[in-house]
A and B are shown apart, each in its own frame.
Chain A
Amino acid sequence: MSTIEKFMNADPLSDRLTVRHSAAIQRRIQQLLEHKGWTQKEFAKKLDKKEPQISRMLNKPHNFTLRSIAEMEEVLGAYILNTDPKQFGIKARTRSLLPEIKFDLNYIEDKWISMQGSNYYNSVNSQPSSDVILSKNEHAFNLVDLEGFNVASSIENDNESQMYHVAELELSQVSEDPIIYG
């Protein structure tokens, strides 16, 4: 086995996944902070923690607990861990507990959602498409139907646009003022 192969195969997958999950959670938190325009200091204050504690948590591999993640989700008003069953092909309806933030449609049209060249607003009123395209600079949200059930979620990625399958979205349930969790 070559030196590089030995290096690549030296560690159990579970160890590698632990590090990857830690890094992915940190990346997600950083994105949400940037989206909100919060500094680490402001975030620390909202969490009632000291800034160095938050800095350590975000800038070194960290063993997050579910409790600490939930507390940050509450403060950020957005999910850090996304276990939306639709992403995994699981048929389930899971109600979001995060507070609703409503945006007017013009804002959505301009900033949030486009659909294959047109925009979400237009497509609601004309021929719907089964995919929503998020522009690359936008951030996480959960698109929910009027009953509050999740129909599409973003796992944002600053590098590329992503497509989200929302075929199961019943467009008749979407009002002209759709609810978006920010």
Chain B
Amino acid sequence: MLKIIEIEALNEQKEEITFYTLQPVNEENQPTGEPSAFQDFLDFMNCQTDTIIQEEFKAVRLAIKDYLPTRGALECFFRDEENCSLRSSSDMAKAFPRHNKLKEVYPVFVYDEENQNCRIRLYCIRVDKHILILLNGALKTPNIRSAQDCPKVKPYFDFCNEIAIALHDCFKDNQIKVIEDEDGYPILDINSHTRLNLCLPSRNS
């Protein structure tokens, strides 16, 4: 089971976005000791040795730490990753970054390999401009057009869609609400019993 937790390190300075992720918990609602969805993604990326992938990862890191908190989670920064065959009426399932080419992703710095396709897919749930739930992701196989056809990212793509559906239901049932904190920043108000009956995709899948 999973519960939504704040990523405190990213939320220390209250800015345009409050970041959340999903933490595996047991029946007693206690952390199982497994990494959160976002930690799992970071651990995976930290293991990558390819220089270009590291450059891509740097772009994603800076976007999460510095670009998105200043601009907010504007729709135009994400690619829509909703699986139309699922019953979700939500459009919350997104992937980051939006653009394929490194030079499109991150033109602030000039890379030698600027025409290299960006392979990172970090899946996330965009609740609104101010609330982003970071999930996990992987490296999309080059020359495969859609995430659904790529065996590397498909489990994360599917997981993101399942989470989007589950959260959509939680919002409908008022188990989760968007409220303002004492300083007026939008945050999630989550019923303490709310857990999502899903598991993080196995990294070996």
Interface residues of A (CB under 8 A from B): 3-8, 10-11, 15-16, 18-20, 22-24, 26-27, 59-63, 159-160
Q: Which of A11, A27, A62, A159 contacts B108 (CB 8 A)?
A: A62
Report Cα–Cα, A27/B184, bound state, in Å.
Answer: 20
Report chain B residues within 8 Å CB of A10.
58, 61
Which residue of chain A has its CB nearest to the CB of B9?
A: A4
Interface residues of B (CB under 8 A from A): 7, 9-10, 35, 39, 42-43, 46, 58, 61-63, 65-67, 70-71, 74, 76-77, 99, 104-109, 184
Q: Which of A3, A59, A62 contacts B39 (CB 8 A)?
A: A3
What 17 new A-B contacts, CB under 8 Å, besides A11-B58, A22-B67, A63-B108? A3-B35, A4-B7, A4-B39, A7-B61, A10-B58, A15-B109, A19-B108, A23-B67, A26-B71, A27-B70, A27-B71, A60-B99, A61-B106, A61-B107, A61-B108, A63-B107, A159-B184
Query: Given that A16-B66, A160-B184 are contacting pairs, would A3 and B43 also be in contact in the complex, using a CB cutoff of 8 Å?
Result: yes
- A23→B58 contact, CB < 8 A: no
Report Cα–Cα, A7/B63, bound state, in Å.
Answer: 12
Report chain A residues within 8 Å CB of B46.
3, 6
- A59→B108 contact, CB < 8 A: no
- 5 residue pairs from A and B, CB less than 8 Å apart: A7-B65, A8-B9, A11-B61, A20-B66, A159-B184
Which residue of chain A has its CB nearest to the CB of B8?
A: A4
Which residue of chain A has its CB nearest to the CB of B70?
A: A23
Report chain A residues within 8 Å CB of B61.
7, 10-11
Q: Which 5 residue pairs spanning A and B have beta carbons closest together?
A: A23-B70, A19-B66, A61-B108, A4-B9, A19-B62
Which residue of chain A has its CB nearest to the CB of B74?
A: A59
Q: Shortest CB–CB separation between residue B151 and chain A, in angstroms?
A: 25
Report chain B residues within 8 Å CB of A59.
74, 76-77
- B63→A19 contact, CB < 8 A: yes
Query: Given that A6-B42, A159-B184 are contacting pairs, would A19 and B107 also be in contact in the complex, using a CB cutoff of 8 Å?
Result: no
* Residue with the greatest number of chain A CB neighbours at <10 A, chosen from B35, B67, B99, B105: B67
